[in-house]
Amino acid sequence: MQAVILAGGRGTRLAEETEARPKPMVEIGGRPILWHIMNIYAARGFDNFVVACGYKSQIIKEYFLRFYLHNSDFTVDLSSGEHRSLESRSVKWKVSVVDTGLDTPTAGRLLLLQEQLAKGKRFFVTYGDGVSDVDIRRLLAFHQSHGRLATVTAVRPPARFGGLELEGDKVREFTEKPQTSEGWINGGFFVFEPRSLDYMRADAMLEQSPLEDLARDGELMAYRHEGFWQPMDTVRDRHLLEDLWQRGTAPWKVWE
């Protein structure tokens, strides 16, 4: 199966970082968050990716073109430019990088990827700016079990502030920034059947008419994920993810 990563947005709420690079290339632990997301899939055996880029697409293209080189040792003859690899620490992923336009909405980006998607095969879709410890294999098994056209991963949004459990005026328990105990939101990490593309519109965001219409027709199911999920929408979010990584407690690191 292929995993589509939507990586074309401008990331305006993270302008401090995205003036110079696309949001999926903002780094956590010295690696783009795009790399982290791809590892979540690859750790479960899914390593065939289609990256839909747009804003500053050349940076994403150059990153993958040079990925093997930057993860390898080599000898180079500076008089001729000839070089040979000594040892590679690169990954065995297949990555298609497709420029889907600067301001194309997310559903439109999926339509533009149809030539890159394997004909008649289901596929994953996720956003290029959030990480989770969701088990991709269990997500897929849930999707296969219900027989509908699409599955969305439902998550509980992270709270912005510490949680208090009170007993009168006494604080019984303080919980640092828990996931909220009520309510589910779209956490990305979708599975789509090929026929779901019939619901996509070139001028629509995925979260608008495509998902609304799939839900109306009874073709959208929710996989409830109770674990970790965190988008990187702001500088504060990036600092949170960086702190988790540096402390060695990043829940989304499901790979060795």
Domains of the chain: residue spans and CATH: 2-154+182-246 (3.90.550.10)
Q: Which residues pair with 98 in a beta bridge?
A: 52
Q: Is the C-alpha dihedral spanning 73, 42, 96, 107 positive or negative? A: negative
Rounded to two decimals, what is the model's pTM? 0.91
What token pair was written down for 152?
Answer: 């969305």
Indicate if the pLDDT at residue 177 is higher than 70.
no
H-helix or E-strand spanning residue 223: strand 220-225
What are the pLDDT digits (tens) for 83-105?
Answer: 898 888 889 999 999 999 999 99
Lowest mean pLDDT among 19-28, 102-111, 160-169: 160-169
Read off the pLDDT band of 10 (50, 70, 90). confident
- Alpha helices of 19-135 — where are they, by DSSP H? 33-42, 57-65, 67-70, 106-112
Indicate if the pLDDT at residue 180 is higher than 90.
no
Provide the strand spans (E) within 60-209. Answer: 72-76, 83-88, 94-99, 123-127, 130-132, 150-155, 163-167, 170-175, 185-186, 190-192
Average pLDDT over residues 139-147: 97
Indicate if the pLDDT at residue 158 is higher than 90.
no
Question: Which backbone phi and psi does 207 adopt, to 5 degrees?
Answer: -75, -10
What are the pLDDT digits (tens) for 18-27?
Answer: 889 999 999 9
What is the predicted pLDDT for the residue at 164? Answer: 65
Indicate if the pLDDT at residue 41 is higher than 80.
yes
Q: In terms of Cα–Cα distance, which of 247, 141, 137, 230 is closest to 188?
A: 230
Average pLDDT over residues 149-173: 79
159 or 115, higher pLDDT: 115
What is the predicted pLDDT for the residue at 11? Answer: 84
What are the pLDDT digits (tens) for 182-208?
Answer: 679 999 999 999 999 999 999 999 999
Q: Is the C-alpha dihedral spanning 44, 61, 8, 24 positive or negative? A: positive
Indicate if the pLDDT at residue 163 is higher than 80.
no
